[in-house]
Structure 1
Amino acid sequence: MSTCTTASRDLDEPLAGTAATARTWLLLEQPGPWGPKALTSSHLDPELGRALEVAAEGTGVRIALIRRPGRHADCGTPAARQIYAAHTLPGNVWLRTATTSEPERLLDLDFTALGRGDSGTFDSVFRAEPHTGDPLAFVCTNGKRDRCCALLGRPLATELTSSGVEGVWEVTHLGGHRFSPTLLVLPFGYAYGRAQAPHVKEILQGVRDGRVVVEGCRGSSAWERPAQAAELAVRTAAHEYAADALTVVRTDGTAPRWEVTVAHTDGRLWRVLVAQGASLPPRPDSCGSPLGSPARMDVVSVRELLTTVVGGPAHC
């Protein structure tokens, strides 16, 4: 039976520039079944879920539910839940963790401050601490949103966990069902598609070493989609894989064409031309959806700008 992932893979649809955008992630443990819109269709109080959606809107914070890999019996509400908050903007990357028996206290957070990278609100409400363990891998497994996420994501999460990989969670929704299995890796916030267990292990080792694995990468969630594609293109062109080396300093233009300026911590600058195209021939955006032409981000050119150092920072 054909699926959206089969069509996307067979048509070699590019992955770069397809990651969900969120400068800050807020992840709440919620075992049991998830519905299509998990914040309001799970064992989480739906009124709390709706209030969280409203609180996060327009703040740069993306909220998702997580659960540990394995069988998901309908076993009710846990006594204590794991929660994570992570900011992914280069220069201020952090990952904080806490547990709570009162998920409604999430509404006490200052979502605007959290979205701009201030961890103080999360720390004060939940007495959070820095996450000091292995990097975290969140694999999308919500089959109620798209069956491919369950058919492909759940076995990946199970395989990783059974092989001894620490820090693996299932997550409700990362977007891009047709790229399943999809995952988000924290603390750096890069998303991946069409993931296989050996590749995920390589990605996680890269995070431990402070590196970004570009193969299979959809982009950094810190940036909008044209900038995601541009940053990955610069990494490839410059052979620069240190996670904290590059940042997007400017994006000019509107769809379907942008000029993105990417900066290196050593002062180098690149100008990247990105064009939005339509994926052809038509294919389903997700299982059961009509045929369409999903937008794609095509890097037209990558040009390093000449820079000179005059009494300090580089100038172009």
Structure 2
Amino acid sequence: MSTCATASRDLDEPLAGTAATARTWLLVEQPGPWGAKALTSSHLDPEIGRALESAAEGTGVRVALIRRPGRHADCHAPTRHRVYVAHTVPGRSWLRSEVTDDPRRLLDLDFAALGAGDHGGFGTPHTGAPLALVCTNGKRDRCCALLGRPLAAELAAAGEEGAWEITHLGGHRFSPTLLVLPYGYAYGRAGTHAVKEILEAVRGGRVISDGCRGNSAWERPAQAAELAVRTATGEDGAGALTVVGTDGAAPRWEVAVAHTDGRRWQVTVEQGASQPPRPESCGAALKSPARMDVVAVRPVP
């Protein structure tokens, strides 16, 4: 049976510029089943889920649920919740964590400050393995379950301590999708061997561009522009490049990308429509989803 991921792969739909956007991620461990809108349809108190969504709105913070790979019993047993907060702007990224018995305490966080990169002393710095967060929410799209859950399980079986399942990363048709922290780069159509290479690179402070959808800190045109500069220059340092300006509006932008060594590039990005039409998720009507096409990468003297 054909799936949205199969159609996207067969049509070679580009991945660059398709990552979910969030300068900061707030990840709350919640075992058990997840509904399509997991923050309000899981064993997390839906009142807390709605309040977290409301608190994060417009702040640059994105809230998601995570759980360890494996079978998820439908039980209501109280549990301690591992919480991660990660800021993903290159050169200023950080990842911190704590364990809480009461997720309601997270509503006391200053979400505007978190979005701006100020953790306010939350938790402690994460010093363990990089996080590989694989989207597995089959209630959103079956591809996330069919392709995401086996990947998460394989990573865990291979000893990747940072492997987690996550509720939603967008782009079901690029399944299996994952977000890698602390640097905030998202990937699509990921296999186990490729993810292990990605995580090994992260341990060395590097970014692998193959299969990359972009850095969540940037809007879609800037994601594509930064990846284009990485491809053109071979630069793989995680904090080496930053987007310093984006001018224009759909369907054309000029994006300024800067290197820590002082080099700069002007990148022209145009929005196109993917052809022929394809489903953006399983069972959805055929559409021509927007794509980010880089048409020029010019060094700035």
- Give the match for residue 101 of structure 1: 101
Give the conservation status (yes or no) of the 8 Å contact 1:23–1:89.
yes
- Give the match for residue 89 of structure 1: 89
Shift of 1:90: 1.5
2:249 aligned with 1:258, yes or no? Answer: no
1:101-127 CA-to-partner distances (Å, cap 9, x unmatched) read 010011101100010000115x2xxxx
1:206 to 196, 201, 214: 201
3-state DSSP of counterpart to 2:65: strand
3-state DSSP of counterpart to 1:249: strand
1:234-260 CA-to-partner distances (Å, cap 9, x unmatched) read 001011000110000000000000000
Q: 5 Å matches for 1:301-316?
A: 301-306=296-301
- Give the match for residue 47 of structure 1: 47
- Give the match for residue 140 of structure 1: 135
Unaligned runs of 5+ in 1: 307-316
- Give the match for residue 116 of structure 2: 116
Unaligned runs of 5+ in 2: none
Shift of 1:79: 2.5
Residues matched between the structures, number: 301
2:79 aligned with 1:79, yes or no? Answer: yes
Moved more, 31-40 or 76-85: 76-85
1:57-107 CA-to-partner distances (Å, cap 9, x unmatched) read 000000000000000011214431100000001121100010000100111
1:291 to 269, 282, 286: 286
1:191 to 148, 167, 186: 186
* Mapped partners of 2:286, 2:157: distance in 1: 37
Q: Percent identity?
A: 76
Shift of 1:233: 0.2
**Letter of the aligned partner of 1:204 in structure 2?**
L
Shift of 1:166: 1.5
- Give the match for residue 309 of structure 1: none
2:166 aligned with 1:171, yes or no? Answer: yes
- Give the match for residue 152 of structure 1: 147
**Letter of the aligned partner of 2:93 in structure 1?**
V
Moved more, 75-84 or 143-152: 75-84
3-state DSSP of counterpart to 2:97: strand
Give the conservation status (yes or no) of the 8 Å contact 2:252–2:268.
yes
1:172-225 CA-to-partner distances (Å, cap 9, x unmatched) read 000000000000000000000000000000000000011000000000000000
* Mapped partners of 2:56, 2:76: distance in 1: 26
**Letter of the aligned partner of 1:252 in structure 2?**
D
Q: Which runs of 4+ in 1 moved over 4 A?
A: none
Q: What is the TM-score when the length of structure 2 is the normalising length? A: 0.99
* Mapped partners of 1:66, 1:148: distance in 2: 18
1:131-178 CA-to-partner distances (Å, cap 9, x unmatched) read 001100000000000000000000000011111111100000000000
Query: In terms of Rg, which structure is larger?
Result: 1
3-state DSSP of counterpart to 1:18: coil
**Letter of the aligned partner of 1:56 in structure 2?**
A
* Mapped partners of 2:24, 2:31: distance in 1: 22
**Letter of the aligned partner of 2:189 in structure 1?**
R
